[in-house]
Amino acid sequence: MTPETLLAAGKHSAQVTDWSARIGWLVGLALFVALVYWLMREGWKWRGTLQSDLPELPTAPEEPGPARLTMSGRYHGSTTAGQWLDRIVARGLGTRSRAELTLTDEGLDVVRPGAADFFVPAAALREARLDKGIAGKVLTEGGLLVVTWAHGDRLIDSGFRSDHAAEHHAWVEAINSMINTPSTEGAER
C-alpha cells in the first residue's frame, strides 16, 4: 500500500447527530418538567384543602367612612401569624396581586384586581409592623408592611409593599394607633 492509500483509509467523516436520541432526551425532559409542575399544583390545591376551615372573608361595608390613608402597591400573600413560611392559600389569600389599600375607621379594605378583595374590620386588627419577608418574598429590612389580623380562630399576617416604601411608617403608626385607642362607646351613659 502506498502512503496515500493509508492516509485516505485513515480519514473518516464526522459523526452524524443521532436525532432520535436527542429527541428522546428532550421529550423526557419535557415530561419531567410537566410532572414537577403538576406536583406543585397538587400541593397548592392540597394546602387549600387543609385550610378549608377558614371562614369566608368579610367584604367592605357600604359606608366605610372617610379614608385615613390610601396606598397602591403589591399584596404578597398571607401566612399564619408568627410563622412567615406557613402560607395561607384558602379563600384566595395565597394569590399575589396588585393591591389598593384604604384604611378607614371601619377597618382595612384591600382591593385586588384579578383576585378576591377582602376587608379587615377594625376590631380584627391586631398589629402592624415593618418586616423583611413573608412566604415567597424576602426584601430588605423594613421593606414589607405586615398587618396582623384575626379571622375566625386564626391570627393572620398579610404582607404588602407600597409603590412608595416611605409610606410604610405612616401605615404602621395609623393602624397601631387605631388598635391602641380605647373605645369610647357607652362611656357617656
Instruction: Strands of the chain (E only): list them.
Output: 67-80, 87-88, 97-104, 107-111, 118-121, 125-131, 133-134, 137-138, 144-151, 154-162
Model pLDDT for residues 88-110, shown as the tens digit of each residue: 888 888 888 999 999 999 999 99
| Residue 11 reports pLDDT greater than 80 | no
Model pLDDT for residues 46-94, shown as the tens digit of each residue: 888 888 888 888 888 888 889 999 999 999 999 999 888 888 888 888 8
Distance CA 42, CA 52 (A): 15
CATH number of 67-180: 2.30.29.30
CB 10: neighbour CB atoms within 10 A? 7
Any idea where the domains of the chain sit in the sequence? 19-50, 67-180
pTM, entire model: 0.74
Query: What 3-state DSSP class applies to 134?
Result: strand
